Amino acid sequence: MSGLVLAIDQGTTSTRAILFDGTMNVAGSGQKEFAQHYPASGWVEHDPEEIWSSVIETVRAALKNAGRDASDVAAIGITNQRETVVIWDKATGKPIHNAIVWQDRRTAPLCQKLRKQGLEKKFTRKTGLLLDPYFSGTKIAWMLDKVKGARKRAEKGELLAGTIDSFLIWRLTGGKVHATDATNASRTLVYNIAENAWDEELLAILRIPAAMLPEVKDCADDYGITEKNLFGAEIRILGVAGDQHAATIGQACFEPGMMKSTYGTGCFALLNTGSDLVRSKNRLLTTIAYRLNGKTTYALEGSIFIAGAAVQWLRDGIKVIGKAEQSGKLAAEADPTQNVYLVPAFVGLGAPHWDAEARGAIFGLTRNTGPAEFARAALESVAYQTRDLLDAMHKDWKGAKAKTVLRVDGGMVASDWTMQRLADILDAPVDRPTILETTALGAAWLAGSKAGVWPKAREFAKTWALERRFVPDMESATRSVKLAGWRDAVRRTLSVP
C-alpha cells in the first residue's frame, strides 16, 4: 500500500492540504485563505460553505502539485480549528447559520448567567473547562435560541451540530458519517472527559438535544470514505484531532512532562500529564491530549487568544509593517531603555485570567515610542503570556519538571528574534524542530499509522529532529523587571482588577 497520506489542516484564517510521502516529507500542498466576518463587536464568523470549498480546492491542488491521484493516497487525516461550531440540516447538509468561531465572545452574557447560578464548578469538574464563550456548547445554544425555528427543528431530529471536523466528515462522506474525535469533543463544554461520553446533565442545562451531536471516536479510527466524485477516487478518513492536539502529536510529545506550544493566530500550550487527569487550581484547562486504542491521555492546556494576531494587527491595523516577517527585524531595532507593554486583550484574555470583558491596552508610551517599540511589545506579549501559562502549569502538576523544554511550532516560530526572546522570558530552552508543519504532520500520522503505512508512536517519536535550540541569554535582574512591568500592565487591563 502507498505510504502517501493527505492531511487536511482547516485553520482559522486559511485551509491547507498537505500530501506527505512515505518518509513523512511534504510531496505537495495547497492553501487558500477565506473571509473573516465580524457582524458585531466581539463577534467572529466563518461561512461554512466557503470553508468547504477551500477544502476541496486545496486537496485537489495538493494532489496536482505532487503529480499524484487520489487513488495513490492511503488515508486522510483531518485537523481543525477547535471550538468553532456549525449547525446544519440533516437532510440537505446546508448550514442554518454561519459558523461561530472560537474567538467569538457573543455568549459572554450566557456564561455569566450560568456562573451566577453557581454552575461553573459543575462544568469544570465534568469537562475540565471554564464557563467561557470560547467553547462550543454556548455557541450551539445561541444558534438554537436565535435562529428562527432552530430549536424545534433540532428537537425533531432535523438538525445536526458539530465542530468543523464533524461538518467536513459529513460532507466528505456524503452524509454517511456524523462523527468527531475525543479531542474535539473535549472542547465543547458538554463532554465528560473522565467518562468519555456526552454529559446528559450539561446538555440539559444548555438545552442541546443529544441526537444533534456526533459519535465520538478515537483520534486514529475509521471515519468513513470520501465520495468518489470529490477527488476522482475514494479515500479512507482514518485520523482526526483538533489542531492543538494534532500539533502535540506531531511534536511527538507522547511522554508525561513533555510540552509544546503552537504560535498561530492564538497560542496554545499543552503539557502531557499522561493518565493523570489534573484538576487545575490556577485556571488552566484540563483536556484530552489524544485518545488512541481506547486509552485516554490527558493534558493541561493554556490558551492565549492573541499571538500571531498581534502581528496581523501591526500589519493591518496600525500598518507599521508591510509583511508579518518584518516584525522580528523591526523589534530588534527598538530602544532598549523603553519598556512598552502591549496587553493584546482584543477579544478578552484567556488563561490564566479568563476575562471575557478585558480589552487591549498599551502601557509605557513616551514621546520617543515608535514602530520598533510597538513591534517589540507585540512580540514580547506572546512571550509574557507563555510565561504566565508555564508558571501556572508548574504550580498545578507535581509531574511538571522544574526546568521545562518547550517544543514550538506555528508561523511565528520562524522568527529567530521572537524565539530568543521567548527563551529569555521563560528562562527555559525553546526547541524549534526541523519540520514546522507539525499540526498537519500529527493529523497525517494518526491516519498513516491507522492505515498501517506509517510507524507506530515509539518509532514515529524517533523521527523528531531539532533544527535549533534557543537558550536563555537575559540577565535575571532584567527579566524580573520586565515581568513585573508585564504583570502590572495585565492588572490594569483586567475588567475587574
Q: Are 179 and 169 in contact (CB under 8 A)?
A: yes
Residue 166's nearest CA partner among 194, 191, 147 is: 191
- What percent of the chain has pLDDT above 70? 99
**82 annotated as belonging to a binding site for a ligand:** yes
Report the DSSP beta bridge partners of residue 240: 78
CA distance 444 to 18: 9
**308 annotated as belonging to a binding site for a ligand:** yes
Beta pairing, strands 191-192 & 179-181: unpaired
Tell me: the pLDDT tens digits for 369-385? 999 999 999 999 999 99
Q: Are 389 and 350 in contact (CB under 8 A)?
A: no
Instruction: State the Cα torsion 128-284-378-336 to the nearest 10°.
Output: -170
CA distance 165 to 342: 34
**10 annotated as belonging to a binding site for a ligand:** no
CA 329 from centre of chain: 27
**291 annotated as belonging to a binding site for a ligand:** no
Beta pairing, strands 179-181 & 215-217: parallel
CA distance 223 to 119: 34
CA distance 328 to 249: 28
CA distance 181 to 296: 12
Selected from 3.90.78.10, 3.30.420.40, 3.40.50.300, 3.40.50.2000, the CATH number assigned to the domain covering 5-244 reads: 3.30.420.40
Tell me: the pLDDT tens digits for 350-373? 888 888 788 999 999 999 999 999
Residue 187's nearest CA partner among 43, 100, 286, 104 is: 286
- The three cell numbers of residue 296 are 485516554
Average pLDDT over residues 452-481: 93
- The three cell numbers of residue 406 are 518547550
**13 annotated as belonging to a binding site for a ligand:** yes
pLDDT attached to residue 308: 86
CATH hierarchy code of domain 252-433+465-496: 3.30.420.40
Say what the pTM is.
0.87
CA distance 49 to 52: 5
Q: Are 3 and 22 in contact (CB under 8 A)?
A: yes
Split at pLDDT 50, 70, 90, the class of 305 is confident
CA distance 318 to 329: 17
Q: Do domains 5-244 and 252-433+465-496 have the same CATH topology?
A: yes
Instruction: Give, in order, the Cα–Cα distances in Å from 156 to each of 153, 159, 211, 212, 272.
Output: 5, 8, 9, 10, 41
3-state secondary structure 193-251: CCCCEECHHHHHHHCCCHHHCCEEECCECCCCECCHHHHCCCCEEEEEEEHHHHHHHHC
Half-sphere exposure for 34 (CA within 13 Å, toward CB): 23
pLDDT attached to residue 294: 95
CA distance 419 to 478: 17
**14 annotated as belonging to a binding site for a ligand:** yes
pLDDT attached to residue 154: 95
Looking at residue 42, what DSSP letter applies? Answer: T
Q: What is the mean pLDDT of the chain?
A: 93
Split at pLDDT 50, 70, 90, the class of 398 is confident
Q: Are 363 and 492 in contact (CB under 8 A)?
A: yes
The string of DSSP codes covering 300-360 is EEEEES-SHHHHHIIIIIS-S-SSGGGHHHHHHTS-TT---EEE--BTBB-TTT-BTT---
The burial of 6, by beta-carbon neighbours within 10 Å (0-12 exposed, 13-18 middle, 19 or more buried), is given as: buried
Instruction: Give, in order, the Cα–Cα distances in Å from 389 to each of 21, 42, 306, 352, 429.
Output: 36, 24, 14, 7, 15
Split at pLDDT 50, 70, 90, the class of 237 is very high
**411 annotated as belonging to a binding site for a ligand:** yes
Tell me: the pLDDT tens digits for 249-301? 999 999 888 889 988 888 889 999 999 899 988 889 999 999 999 999 999 99
Domain positions in the chain = 5-244, 252-433+465-496
- The three cell numbers of residue 205 are 442545562
CA distance 100 to 143: 9
CA distance 414 to 391: 25
**265 annotated as belonging to a binding site for a ligand:** yes
Split at pLDDT 50, 70, 90, the class of 63 is very high
pLDDT attached to residue 472: 94
The burial of 297, by beta-carbon neighbours within 10 Å (0-12 exposed, 13-18 middle, 19 or more buried), is given as: buried
Q: Are 419 and 328 in contact (CB under 8 A)?
A: no
